[in-house]
Chains A and B, each alone.
Chain A
Amino acid sequence: EADIYQTPRYLVIGTGKKITLECSQTMGHDKMYWYQQDPGMELHLIHYSYGVNSTEKGDLSSESTVSRIRTEHFPLTLESARPSHTSQYLCASSESGPRKDTQYFGPGTRLTVL
């Protein structure tokens, strides 16, 4: 089992609320990622980070924002949630360096915005 954790596992909130999805890993990995996945569909990269104070937008445009103040922590924030944000959000991490290509995933947060 990978040492990467996400909280909450499930979240149901009303439109307009601000939310933060937490992701932490204890493996000391430099690289971290956020993916969005709708049921039965592929994963879309929405944010990634190469290390502390490094964040980049992914291939899928997202209204969420991320921060990386500590190596182990990579939270994702939605300032004003909308029903279109309903999805599963998966956090992952990987090591840096040659041939360190495997990503380790957390269990995911399933978000429902009413």
Chain B
Amino acid sequence: SQQGEEDPQALSIQEGENATMNCSYKTSINNLQWYRQNSGRGLVHLILIRSNEREKHSGRLRVTLDTSKKSSSLLITASRAADTASYFCATDVGGNTGKLIFGQGTTLQVKP
């Protein structure tokens, strides 16, 4: 089964509200990354959190990591219509392979 599972699968909010997405994984990780994908396009890297970090911020993004629960969350504050996209977590299980295992993604719709 997949390493990463995300919930919710879909989220619809109004502009200005906060959006929270969760990711759970099964094995030990080197780091966890969040990516964004606009419809039918490639992925864009948003933020990376290492296994020894608990929280990280980048602009309106806040990521937390709980290695004891093997889970992470991505919070987007003050959402905008342009944030509408699919968001994927990806885990790097280490070994310097660079290989990532992606979750199923959360589709976020921000209504203007």
Are A45 and B45 touching (Cβ within 8 A)?
A: no
Among candidates A4, A45, A106, residue contacting B99 with C-beta atoms closer than 8 Å: A45
Are B104 and A101 touching (Cβ within 8 A)?
A: no
Are A101 and B30 touching (Cβ within 8 A)?
A: yes
Are A42 and B42 touching (Cβ within 8 A)?
A: no
Binding site for B on A (CB under 8 A): 2, 4, 6, 31, 33, 35, 40-45, 48, 58-59, 88, 90, 92, 94, 96, 101-108, 110
The interface residues of chain A lying within 8 Å CB-to-CB of B43 are 43, 90, 92, 103, 105
B53 to chain A, nearest CB (A): 12
Q: Chain B residue with minimal CB distance to A10?
A: B40
Which among A35, A94, A102, A107 has the greatest number of chain B C-beta atoms within 10 A?
A: A102
Number of contacts between A and B (CB, 8 Å)? 66
| With contact pairs A42-B2, A101-B48, A102-B33 given, residues A31 and B98 touching in the complex (Cβ less than 8 Å) | yes
B84 to chain A, nearest CB (A): 15
**C-alpha spacing A92/B99, complex, angstroms:** 11
**C-alpha spacing A7/B15, complex, angstroms:** 35
